[in-house]
Amino acid sequence: MVLAADQFVVVRETNGVTPGSADVEHSSLNESVGKTIIAGYHWFGDWGRDTMISLPGLTLSTGRAEVARSILRTFSRYVDQGMLPNQFPDAATVPEYNTVDATLWYFESIRQYYAATEDDDLLLELFPILTDIIDWHCRGTRYTIHLDASDGLLYAGTAGVQLTWMDAKVGDQVITPRIGKPIEINVLWYNALRTMATFARKIGKPHQEYEAIADRTLVRFSRFWNEAAGYCYDVIDGPDGDDDSLRPNQIFAVSLPQSPLTATQQKQVVDTCGQMLLTSYGLRSLSPTHPDYAGYYRGNSAERDRVYHQGTVWGWLIGAFALAHWRVYGSATQAHQFLEPMANHLTAHGMGSLSEIFDGNAPMKPDGCIAQAWTVAEVLRAWLAIEDA
């Protein structure tokens, strides 16, 4: 898997691509080349979301902090209106910013990088950019992404735009729009605020504001808890109200360092996801009991896109589940067992790597990219994190 990780790290030439406004304010970051991550083979490019999710596993877990540093600096050049780009179109000169989660995963990547290196120089360099990101989210940026002052939760979404990792779109139709307050976005927001407070204290900057916003987010995060179902709503305050679909996004409320759930709620989330969503190769993107569930990833391009996040298993989620289970139950042996089928998969499909997706129904046939960065990254990161601890 360490060898597989190396295949995704590539050089990005930034000449000809227009950086965001942050480039003007932080001209010291101006470089013509830098490292980035290919999301998957054979047909994906380097995407902001996939890069930030994959970075810790592909670089820090493999002992290559200098590569992580280069990637973090490369993407910092393109922060614009408090957002990281989701995509660098090969034929265009302006990045696309249709993502709400890439920027929040950026904080988590920097947090893990700093924990591994204590690189104060990079932290001092990036801190003004991170401050600007928080400010933009508080006052509002693209696609109605903004902090709701009434409850401290982050709202995002406009019609016709796919902003979260569940980003399938057929023509003008977004299959899982998730407009409102998605759970993983608010977990990431809460973690970003706590991370900023920690960073501010380390470099002698004011931290009280970040703590205050995080405290308010923590109190009102209880709105996500669906007491009747025993798990979290996937989205609240959407155009049609609260979405009680059982999806895997709530697992991050347990796996990320700062959990806004109680210990009892964390256990219920892990147990429910384990009973309804867990497979040998990842988590289903939708419960089999849901009327929209599709157990097979089949058909033409449009047909496949319609079921991409409606039951299809995603390999990268198994890492978060293993870490969440370990957090709740404290058994490294048991947590490792959830990851072991991936070791066998290394020789079963895309030789020497891990697949993007699998069918939701047995026998969980692999599909999509035969080598997917965040699948490799998250399985490797989770395995080593549990083993080291």
**Nearest Cα to Cα of residue 107 among 31, 19, 210:** 210
- DSSP-assigned letters across all residues of 55-95: HIIIIITTT-HHHHHHHHHHHHTT-BTTB--SB--TT-SS-
CA dist 30 → 24, 27, 107 (Å): 9, 5, 21
The pLDDT value recorded for residue 32 is 55
The pTM of the full predicted model, rounded to 2 decimals, is 0.94
Using one digit for the tens of pLDDT, what is the confidence trace for 290-326? 999 999 999 999 999 999 999 999 999 999 999 999 9
Domain boundaries, the chain: 2-388
Which CATH architecture does the domain made up of 2-388 adopt? Alpha/alpha barrel (1.50)
Using one digit for the tens of pLDDT, what is the confidence trace for 222-235? 999 999 999 999 99
Inter-residue contact 107 to 53 (CB < 8 Å): no
The SS3 of residue 201 is helix
**Nearest Cα to Cα of residue 162 among 173, 172, 177:** 177
**How sure is the predictor about 27, in pLDDT bands with cuts at 50, 70 and 90?**
very low
Using one digit for the tens of pLDDT, what is the confidence trace for 37-83? 999 999 998 999 999 999 999 999 999 999 999 999 999 999 999 99
* Residues near 56 by beta carbon (within 8 Å), at least 6 away in sequence: 68, 108, 109, 112, 113, 377, 381
